[in-house]
Amino acid sequence: PTELYNKFLERCMSNFHLVIKLPSDTNDVRDLCRTYPEFLNKSVVCYFNQWPDDALQKAAEMIFEDLSVSREQRKFIVNASKEFYAFAKKKTEETNKAHQHKIEISASSYISFIKFFSQLYQSKNAEVTQKKKSYESIIKKYETIQAEIE
């Protein structure tokens, strides 16, 4: 029984994975490591900084490459999305300072935003295209009727 239990613990320890997200601008990580030194001994710590501007650019370009817009329009959309992200980051920092809140805008928020924008653009474009075809058919019918009357 002891051998079996030890084998069970060994398998649990080798297969157990835990992901913890801690804010990087506070002392939470340092305090956790001081309180539980084994945390560092048996862990893989990954620290993610903010994405550089070119990474934000590349991510947006890859997601927006399927949009049926001109190259110039795509470039404008990519730059606008980066500006929205920078503006949101700035506003959350101001809110955090003013109201003692902790709000974070991460790179995954940026990716979610540009994916949502892409889907919204494509659905609205399809809707407008369908309405355009409908109006064009109505105009053709009108022209046909007007020709018959004359």
105 contacts 89 by C-beta, under 8 angstroms: yes
pLDDT digits (tens, 9 = 90+) for 115-145: 999 999 999 999 999 999 999 999 999 999 9
In one-letter notation, the amino acid at residue 70 is: S
pLDDT digits (tens, 9 = 90+) for 47-87: 666 788 888 889 999 999 888 889 999 999 999 999 999 99
**pTM above 0.85?**
no
The Cα angle at residue 48 between residues 47 and 52, in degrees rounded to 5? 145
82 contacts 57 by C-beta, under 8 angstroms: yes
Residue 58 CB neighbour total at 10 angstroms: 13
Residue (of 22, 25, 68) closest to 46 by Cα position: 22
121 contacts 70 by C-beta, under 8 angstroms: no
